[in-house]
Amino acid sequence: MPNPSNMDDSARLFAELKDLATEQRNPASMQIDALDTEGILRVINGEDQRVAEAVSGEIPHIARAVDLIVDAFGAGGRLIYVGAGTSGRLGILDASECPPTFGTPPEQVQGLIAGGREAVFRSQEGAEDRKEDGQRDLDGIQVRPVDVVCGIAASRRTPYVVGAVEYARSIGCPTLFITCTPRESFNIPVDVAMCPVVGPEVIMGSTRMKSGTAQKLVLNMLTTASMVRIGKVYENMMVDLQMTSKKLVERSKRTVMMVTGLSYEEASSVLAQTNGHVKTALVMILGNVSKAQAAGYLEAADGFVRPAIASALAGA
């Protein structure tokens, strides 16, 4: 076996890749090129069913990550995803969906991708190899110790991501990492590593498949659980959504109707009084208080609807 210290960069990369879990061949798909269309799809679907189980095993680690994110949000910090290729796009997707879903400011959850904005739409594969760009891009958004930085890399080794996480850690940021390599081979110092090992891809090395699905599930869990924890959900409904489209306007009305029993016209009228703020509308109706009182109860409850309603009913 060659000594890694004596290898040039290409040989070192080759040696790394051949041992990665994400670069192995999958025995279940060895004959996929000889199958008909339905057979191909059944192989893919069979492998996809392994993903949720792999993520399930990481829930204790995901929970620790959520706690760090919630603490950061409470201190005015941000969640910053850093990835390359598919992983970077998934981070940007998750970040971009938070404002319309949960009414968060766009800067609270952000995604960075190797190669910048252009890489979201067209592959910029060489960009992931520049480790120093990870620090540069974090500096570009003025990362602070109060921010949580989450690296996303199926293989764990992506230089851009590693560089960003190392820099974030060096300035005192809590750091997370989502990877599909086994925990025992994860050697990057971070506060929490989430390692859903999904096994070899159906097409060797195509980490946009099972690995990408696992990453998407974890990202959904991180932001959704964090938003529940900071009061963005009442029961199981989005109550801090922004009425920025006709669909979201109607969803807001329907939410008020479902929770309170009001008619469509009544819900529309109350939302008009609250400038479309669903939380205030719910506390007004269920607590039988004015708009100003509802706003006060919500502020006292840190934006959580359930305790605000209870306080209104108790006259606290």
Catalytic center residues: 97, 128
Q: 76: exposed, middle or buried (C-beta count within 10 Å: 0-12, 13-18, 19+)?
A: exposed
Give per-residue burial for 101-113: e unless 16+ CB within 10 Å, then b.
bbbbeeebbbbbb
Question: How much helix, strand and coil, in percent to the nearest 5, is found in the chain?
Answer: 60, 10, 35
209 and 202 Cβ atoms separated by less than 8 Å: yes
Q: What is the DSSP string of 93-143?
A: HHHHTHHHHH---TTTEEEEETT-THHHHS--GGGGG-HHHHHHHHHHTT-
Length of the chain: 316
CA-based nearest residue to 271, from 285, 289, 258: 285
For residue 110, the cross-strand partners are 80
